[in-house]
Amino acid sequence: MSKLSLASKLRLNSGFEIPLLGYGVYQTPGDICESVVKHAFDVGYRHVDSAVMYKNEKPSAAPILKSSLPRSNFFFTSKAFGQGGVNYSIVKKQVANTLKETGLDYIDLMLIHAPYGGSAGRKGAWKALVEAKEEGKVRSIGVSNYGVQHLDELEVHIRELEEERGKGRGGVIDVGQWEIHPWLARKDIVEWCRKRNIVVEAYSPLVRGNRMGDPLLQLLAEKYGKTPAQILLRWSAQSGLVPLPKSTTLSRIEENKDIFDFELSEEDMRSLDTGKYDPCGWDPTVWPLEK
C-alpha cells in the first residue's frame, strides 16, 4: 500500500482528483459552520462535504472564497434532494442555486442525495447532472445512498441517454457516497463501484460515536496509541474509502486528521470485518425501484 498522507488524493473517472480525507457538515448549524470549516482548512483539510438538505452550503463554501489559497486547492461537494424525490427540474434548479448560494464558479462534486423519485425521476436527475458537467458548472458527478439495484438501473439509464444524446454523453459515475464503517461495510456496493473505478466515500465513518466503547476498538486504540475515532478513520483510509468525519469540536477536527502516522496490520484490519449490517442512520439503499 502506498504511503498515505493528509495530502493524498484519489483520481476520479472525470480526471479530477478528490482529497482522501473530507470534512462533513451534516447537522452543522449555519451560524457556526463557516468557523468550523475554516478551522478544518487551517489545520490541513481541503475537502468539505455539504448538501442542499443541510442548509449550510453558503457558510461551508465561504472559507474557500476567503482563503488566500487558489480555488483549485479546495474540493466542495453538495447533493441534490427533493422531498418527493428527485427529477430533472429539481436537480437543474439546485445546481444553479448552489452556485448562486455559494458564490463558487463551479462545484467540484454534485451527488444525487438519495434514490427517491421513481425510475423516470432518477433518470431525469442524472441527465441534469450530466448536463451540468458538460456546461462546466460541476466537475464530477455521482450518487449517494443508492442500492445495487439503483446502480444497475443507473447503468441502463446511462446507456439510454447515450442512445438519445450521442456516444459518450450518457455520463460517467465518478463518486458514490454511503454510510460505511466496520458494522456496515456494504461489500456488495463497494465491489460494484471498484469494478467501475468509482471512488467510494464513507459518511458516518465514526458510527455517530455509538461504538467508541466497543472492546475491539478499545483494544486497537490501546495497541496503536490512538483514539477509537482515529482507528475507525484509519480503517476507512486503508480500505480505500474517502472518510467524511463530522465534528464541531475543534480539538476533534484536529484529532480526526491525525491518522497518517500509523498503519493497521492486515490482521487488525481483518478483525474489524464484523460482517454486521447495522446502520446508524437512514438507509435509502433498500428503497424499492418502483417507488
What amino acid positions are annotated as catalytic residues?
Answer: 54
Q: How far does the chain reach from its first CA to its final CA, in angstroms?
A: 42
Of the candidates 203, 163, 165, the one whose C-alpha atom is nearest the C-alpha of residue 184 is: 203
* Contact by Cβ (8 Å): 55, 278: no
Of the candidates 92, 93, 75, 97, the one whose C-alpha atom is nearest the C-alpha of residue 126 is: 92
Q: What angle do CA 120, 176, 121 make, to 5 degrees?
A: 10
Alpha helices in the chain (DSSP H): 30-42, 57-66, 88-102, 118-134, 148-165, 187-194, 215-224, 228-238, 250-255, 266-271
Distance CA 130, CA 288 (A): 24
Grid look-up 496490520 returns 265
Distance CA 7, CA 128 (A): 32
Grid look-up 458538460 returns 134
Displacement of CA 11 from its chain's centroid (Å): 14
Per the document, the length of the chain is 291
